[in-house]
Structure 1
């Protein structure tokens, strides 16, 4: 890894610190990062497997994303940190180097493909909400998750199948040897999925906004219709025959017929089970689904934003080096964007903890067992 021109780095290999000497800072940073990634993403997987409230379709995609980060920490980072500690010199076999490059490209690609799969799944959930299975993972979601990993391996497979076996290969460097492949893998792993993902999220939130407006209008219409029925003259005739007092017929009266209040992300909705709404179960189901969907979707833009913040600099530097042979990019810049990309794998569990109360409660419960 690294001779000032190219080395093993996330998702396609770029330059790293000059060879020679022991890089103690890289060793310490690498160990801390591995522990954070394994601990945080391990808790994410454990929480979804053990907590019933977290067994949602969105969270199964989050588990797939967490698995990609876990594998990165267990299979890629130790070898990367070891080489960095050696000053960027690759002292192991070229076969192991190719395996490392393959896993590096595949796991980085799997991360962004998982984010794309989440955006597709959320778009479907908003576009056809009543036909979407929210209770358990179904065939559509299994196909989406499987496809992300199959495509990620397809992008990375040329390396393990001999792409790096070029004449005059320097065995002291672990890097991708083909510039055309660097451009191809960068486009497939980042520059195509990102715009697709952003377009889907924009369409999803537009659909969610229309859904919310329609739901509120329907709820207002239902309550207005119920009030008209309650205060219609025939209703009072009926009250006199049954002996009910006026407040007993009023859904807003103090509590002979209390309403069911539900908070949906700060919006209070109310249903009155004793009134004969048209399709009351359907109305309450839509309201409940809407609240859960909005809670789940709130965290996704933050996850995507963090991914783009961490990986965009790397891919810009990475593809620039491959396309512009005359461009000189300082080693410090390349090293910084490389580590920034790796740091993203530790961020997602922190984001879930901050923005999702259910994950936060589980993490707190687990930490209390060890503290």
Structure 2
């Protein structure tokens, strides 16, 4: 036996065993992969649920919900076409799927994430117009107009995403040949991409939702003033109002028609900040004595309910503020750290972030695609009922 050759064979065998051992993922990386996979699966599930609910429920066939559906489609693309490749990239710690797949993945990643953010701005514009110009905008708020808004959002997303992709296509850096990233150090280019993809939409969303809240607050104050004037006339004996706050019953047991809701309040209810109707008071018809007694007690209870009006209105305003706060807070928390990092890294030559931090900030932005279908639908009663029917496989109408 040739001893030198035998020694080389043993060394090669041991090396192959070491290579096999080194390919095993550490428990921390396995846990990370499972967690990220769960995020991708949940994002896919919830966005599919929203799309299906809008498609099969006739009551949800409204132009405002077309924007919600388009947002869900965009977030679904992020979950299906972006997240899985990112998980593999994080596992391997290098890009192993080739240059062509890298270019396609970056294209879909940048375009869909930008499109998701611009959808949020488009929804804010739609809601602002609906509450501040309800009568005129209700005539213009058609399916065709919603489709045009979606087309504009996608066009702007491609317009914002194209320059980074073209820049990467013409820059061949040997140092980063095993990575799938975009590197540039030009201030103008960084400002163009980050302002268009995030900072301008963020400013627009903040301004519009602030104006929406102030407009809703003004509407509630006007409604309370109207209630106060009717109550004043009623107590002076000069007039008995024909309508009362929703939920009041008539003296003879028949429910009164609810207080009319203005188009602005009806539009604002799309934010799902409306309160649940109070239980209607029904009075049974008995002898005249009982009826007279109940009439007196009912009048007292009606007055007490009126004095609860400002408290109820305040509750609605707090609910409106909390809903708007969730929408804005989720968007800012998920995307602001990533875009701040992008500005710093691409404008400061000596600044750098670790791969782990970069992955964390990227996935924090991806999580917004999971949160969007929850925030924009879960507080809406129509969507809740549609989801329940979907889960129970009930009949849709």
Q: TM-score, normalized by length of structure 1?
A: 0.73
* Aligned with residue 317 of structure 1, among 341, 356, 373: 341
Q: Comparing 352-361 with 313-322, which one deviates more in the overlay?
A: 352-361
Structure 1 unaligned spans of 5+: 1-19, 233-250, 262-269, 271-282
- Cα separation, partners in 2 of 1:353 and 1:253, compared to 1, 3 Å: closer
Q: Comparing 202-211 with 137-146, which one deviates more in the overlay?
A: 137-146
- Cα separation, partners in 2 of 1:221 and 1:154, compared to 1, 3 Å: same
Match of 2:150 in 1: 145
- Cα separation, partners in 2 of 1:359 and 1:85, compared to 1, 3 Å: same
Q: 1:129 Cα shift?
A: 0.9
Structure 2 unaligned spans of 5+: 1-22, 241-247, 275-319
**SS of equivalent residue, structure 2 residue 68:** helix
Check if 1:194 corresponds to 2:202.
yes
**SS of equivalent residue, structure 2 residue 179:** coil
Check if 1:338 corresponds to 2:344.
no
- Cα separation, partners in 2 of 1:227 and 1:48, compared to 1, 3 Å: farther
Alignment partners' CA distance in 2, 1:363 and 1:85? 35
**SS of equivalent residue, structure 1 residue 192:** helix
Check if 1:205 corresponds to 2:229.
no
1:55–1:136: 8 Å Cα contact kept in structure 2?
A: no
Q: 1:149 Cα shift?
A: 0.9
RMSD: 3.2
1:140-179 equivalences under 5 Å are 140-161=145-166, 163-169=168-174, 170-179=176-185
* Aligned with residue 41 of structure 2, among 30, 35, 42: 35
Describe the superposition over 1:220-243 as per-residue Cα deviations: whole angstroms up to 9, x where unpaired.
5567779999769xxxxxxxxxxx
Q: 1:90 Cα shift?
A: 0.9
**SS of equivalent residue, structure 1 residue 132:** helix
Q: 1:257 Cα shift?
A: 6.6
2:198–2:339: 8 Å Cα contact kept in structure 1?
A: yes
Q: 1:313 Cα shift?
A: 1.2
1:291-310 equivalences under 5 Å are 292-293=269-270, 295=272, 298=320, 299-310=323-334
* Aligned with residue 104 of structure 2, among 80, 99, 108: 99
Match of 1:83 in 2: 89
Name the count of aligned residue pairs.
312
Match of 1:239 in 2: none
Bigger radius of gyration: 2
Alignment partners' CA distance in 2, 1:287 and 1:256? 31
Alignment partners' CA distance in 1, 2:264 and 2:349? 57
Match of 1:6 in 2: none
* Aligned with residue 115 of structure 2, among 88, 110, 115: 110
Alignment partners' CA distance in 1, 2:249 and 2:205? 45
Q: 1:330 Cα shift?
A: 3.6
Alignment partners' CA distance in 2, 1:39 and 1:65? 14
Q: 1:167 Cα shift?
A: 3.4
1:68–1:110: 8 Å Cα contact kept in structure 2?
A: yes
- Cα separation, partners in 2 of 1:257 and 1:302, compared to 1, 3 Å: same
Alignment partners' CA distance in 2, 1:231 and 1:195? 49
Q: TM-score, normalized by length of structure 2?
A: 0.69
Match of 1:69 in 2: 75
* Aligned with residue 60 of structure 2, among 54, 69, 72: 54
- Cα separation, partners in 2 of 1:171 and 1:252, compared to 1, 3 Å: closer
Alignment partners' CA distance in 2, 1:85 and 1:109? 25
